[in-house]
């Protein structure tokens, strides 16, 4: 028997090939994003609706009708939320001129107090800050209008997504069998394990995040209402929806009500209360809601999540930031089950730094020792 000749390429060649592959992937993702975004989001929505469609199907209803019922229910819910947010945003935009004048008064009052305290004439500073405030509110108004307009335009542009979701749910067994046909029979057990783990991660993450966001809508809205902020429900919705983006979401969502309380409310106590609520919600979401609802199935270390979200936002904007985490979680599953990808699985997972991490178990043990 002749032995196969294996040529081991130098490391620089392997790195060059990897870089060329990444450049090609970036080109494909950006050049065909209008085609790939709806499909990718369709996969995520299919994972979200799979428990509903599967439950209806188990009740003896045909898969076609089960999928249609699940999709119509989702469209009805999302349409209701979208119309509510659009109405609240319209009310908010009509009040922007009043908020702008109120903000200018608050800033002038603050600068007058600063002049008396420091003995400095700040007329030029006052004029510059007033102009800056005017620009902020004008740009914010235009940004919100364009955001909601582009969002609705995107919804109409990707009207095909429900069709994608339907066929993804309908042919789910077919896709699994297709993958198994590509894999040698001796590796079918491992392939089925990978498919099941990826499906579990997808379903658990997407449905879990939706539950967390729904809970945060009520918590945020109630908190803003008790604080005394105007547009409490609208602000609660916006702050909660940003939590579809891990880590960045809560900060982005609470920055808006924080600056609104600073500029448009009569007392700095409102800003302080918003910060306190942010700390409470951040702690509750990170330590109670997400661990118990989403669970540990994602199992990606925070640094890799932040890198993935940043890269996803750079390539596809907000949809990319939303898609990044489940995509990297699927890569982690592949890495942990395929020998050649073991280093990738180790890099993405939370393994390797357990001794330096801080959790409740370690805190309890430290108190017991004392």
352 φψ region: left (φ > 0), alpha (ψ -120 to 50), beta (else):
left
pLDDT at site 1? 45
Q: What is the pLDDT of residue 116?
A: 62
pLDDT at 174 over 90: yes
**b/e burial code for range 188-204 (CB count within 10 A of at least 16 → b):** eeebeebbebbbebbbb
Mean pLDDT of all residues in the chain?
Answer: 80
283-309 in b/e form (b: 16+ CB < 10 A) is eebeeebbeebbeeebbbbeebbeebb
Domain extent listing, the chain: 298-352
192 compared with 292, residue with greater pLDDT: 192
Q: What's the mean pLDDT in 231-255? A: 86
Spatial separation of the C-alpha atoms in residues 230 and 270, rounded to whole Å: 11
CA dist 261 and 230 (Å) reads 9
Q: For 59-72, how does the pLDDT look when each residue is reduced to its tens digit (9 = 90+)?
A: 999 999 999 999 99
The sign of the CA dihedral 280, 283, 285, 288 is: negative
Q: How do residues 118-167 score in pLDDT, each as one tens digit?
A: 555 555 555 555 565 566 555 555 555 555 555 554 554 567 888 899 99
- The 10s digit of each residue's pLDDT in 83-110 is 888 887 777 777 666 666 666 666 666 6
Report the alpha-carbon distance of residue 200 to residue 54 in Å, rounded.
14
Q: Rounded mean pLDDT of 7-23?
A: 79
Cβ neighbours of residue 43 closer than 8 Å, sequence gap 6 or more? 164, 168, 202
Compute the C-alpha angle 171/201/340, nearest 5°: 95
Using the structure block, give the residue that is written with the tokens 């970036």. Answer: 26
Give the pLDDT band of residue 295 (cuts 50, 70, 90): low
């Amino acid at each position: 028997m002749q032995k196969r000749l294996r040529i081991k390429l130098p490391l620089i060649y392997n790195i060059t090939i990897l870089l060329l592959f990444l450049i090609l992937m970036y080109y494909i993702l950006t050049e065909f994003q209008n085609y790939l975004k709806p499909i990718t989001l369709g996969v995520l929505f299919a994972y979200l609706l799979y428990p509903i469609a599967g439950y209806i199907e188990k009740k003896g209803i045909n898969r076609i009708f089960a999928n249609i019922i699940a999709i119509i229910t989702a469209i009805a819910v999302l349409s209701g939320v979208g119309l509510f947010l659009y109405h609240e945003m319209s009310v908010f935009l009509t009040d922007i001129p009043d908020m702008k004048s109120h903000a200018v008064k608050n800033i002038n009052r603050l600068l007058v107090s600063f002049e008396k305290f420091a003995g400095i004439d700040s007329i030029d500073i006052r004029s510059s800050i007033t102009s800056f405030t005017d620009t902020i509110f004008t740009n914010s108004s235009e940004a919100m209008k364009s955001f909601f307009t582009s969002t609705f335009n995107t919804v109409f542009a990707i009207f095909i997504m429900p069709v994608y979701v339907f066929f993804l749910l309908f042919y789910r067994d077919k896709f699994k069998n297709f993958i198994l046909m590509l894999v040698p029979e001796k590796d079918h057990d491992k392939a089925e394990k990978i498919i099941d783990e990826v499906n579990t991660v997808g379903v658990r993450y997407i449905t879990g995040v939706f539950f967390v966001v729904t809970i945060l809508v009520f918590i945020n809205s109630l908190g803003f209402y008790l604080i005394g902020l105007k547009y409490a429900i609208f602000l609660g919705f916006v702050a909660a929806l940003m939590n579809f983006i891990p880590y960045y979401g809560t900060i982005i969502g609470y920055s808006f009500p924080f600056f609104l309380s600073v500029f448009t409310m009569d007392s700095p106590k409102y800003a302080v209360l918003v910060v306190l609520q942010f700390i409470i919600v951040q702690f509750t979401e990170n330590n109670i809601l997400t661990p118990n609802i989403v669970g540990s199935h994602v199992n990606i270390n925070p640094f890799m999540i932040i890198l993935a979200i940043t890269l996803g936002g750079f390539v596809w904007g907000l949809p990319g930031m939303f898609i990044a985490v489940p995509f990297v979680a699927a890569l982690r599953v592949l890495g942990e089950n395929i020998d050649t990808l073991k280093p990738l699985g180790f890099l993405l997972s939370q393994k390797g730094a357990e001794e330096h991490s801080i959790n409740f178990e370690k805190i309890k043990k430290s108190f017991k020792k004392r």
